[in-house]
Each structure stands twice: as C-alpha cells, then as structure tokens.
Amino acid sequence: MGCTCQMPCPCRYNNTRDDSCEEWGLIVITQGSFGKIQLNDIKLVWASGTSFEAIYLDMRINTLQRQVMSKLIKAGVFGVEDEQGPSYTKIEYVHNKNNWQIDATNVLKCAIKAVLGADGKQPIRLRNMPWGTVGELYMDQGQVVKSHFQTRSFEIIAEGTNAYFGEFRHIGTL
C-alpha cells in the first residue's frame, strides 16, 4: 500500500484518515475459497481518497470468481468500495524481500522499496496496526520509489512518500 503522506503515515498511527491522504494498494489472495468457488491467486488494485474510490480486479479471473469478488467488495471486506462496481485490467506484480513492483495495465505502475532497520537488512516492522476488518497485523515500512495511478476520474502521482507492505492470514469465515 502506498499513500501521498510523508513517512510515516499519520493516518495509520492515529487510526483516522487525513483529508489530504490519497492511497492505493495491491491485494493478492494466494489461497482461498468462497463456498465451492476457488479464489486462489486473485489480484486486485484499489485507490481511495476523500472524493473517490476505485477497485480493479485482474481480468483473468473467471465469471464465478468475478461474482464472488463483487459480493465481497460490496460487503466491504477489502475496506474500499467502488459504487460503479469493480473494473478489470491485467495485474502483474514482482516481489522480493525488500521491493515491490506493481503493473496494472493502463491503471497503476508502482515501485516500493523497504525502509531498512538498524541492521541494514530487515525492513522496519510495525505491529498493532489498526486495520479495520482484518484485525491486528504487522506491516513493514516502505517508501514509494515512484507511482502513478490513473483511472476514470482521478490521478495520483507520488514519489518518495509513505508505503507499507506485509502479509496477513485469515482462516475462517468473513
């Protein structure tokens, strides 16, 4: 996740959103199901600001997965809702230990690097992050190298601003 705030993002520390904060991110469901419908390797990118929200699903998912993901989005599971419903584009990402690159065709190009701790090897890890429906999780501090998110009605350009990345695991029902 990246945002237009300087590091560290005060919105996450205060659990309130600053009106000037615009944010975007990538969510990857590596393994999951909804009933009998498999949701493995589903990717979505999203953006949110004070006057806009948008969600894009990877265009390579099948019709049943699209229906399930639309229901989950409408239910607020991902914390962002697009009134027009999700749009579709090809979403690719590359991740290694300390770097992320995201390419959602004609929507988002983003590079994020980890902010390393005193050992110069491991990212600074933040715990007890207040993150809505997912509960407690950890996030690693990052910095946006360069990002451009453009869609129907808005554009976000950022460089050198705040970013977080991490994984969480949810087992059970939502």
Which sign does the torsion angle of CA 13, 16, 19, 25 carry? positive
3-class DSSP state of 27: strand
pTM of the model: 0.86
The pair of three-digit structure tokens given for residue 37, joined into one six-digit string:
């419908």
pLDDT at position 140 is 86
Highest mean pLDDT among 6-10, 35-39, 127-131: 35-39
CB-based contacts of 141: which residues, under 8 Å, 6+ apart? 7, 8, 114, 115, 123, 124, 125, 126, 163, 164
pLDDT tens per residue across span 113-154: 999 999 999 998 877 665 554 555 678 889 999 999 998 788
**Is 113 domain-assigned?**
yes
pLDDT tens per residue across span 78-113: 777 777 789 999 999 998 888 999 999 999 999 999
- The Cα 46–Cα 75 span in angstroms is 15
pLDDT at position 64 is 96
State how many domains the chain has.
1
Q: Where in the sequence is the domain holding 118, given as residue range(s)?
A: 2-165
- The Cα 74–Cα 67 span in angstroms is 11
**Is 37 domain-assigned?**
yes
8-state DSSP, 123 = B
**Is 174 domain-assigned?**
no
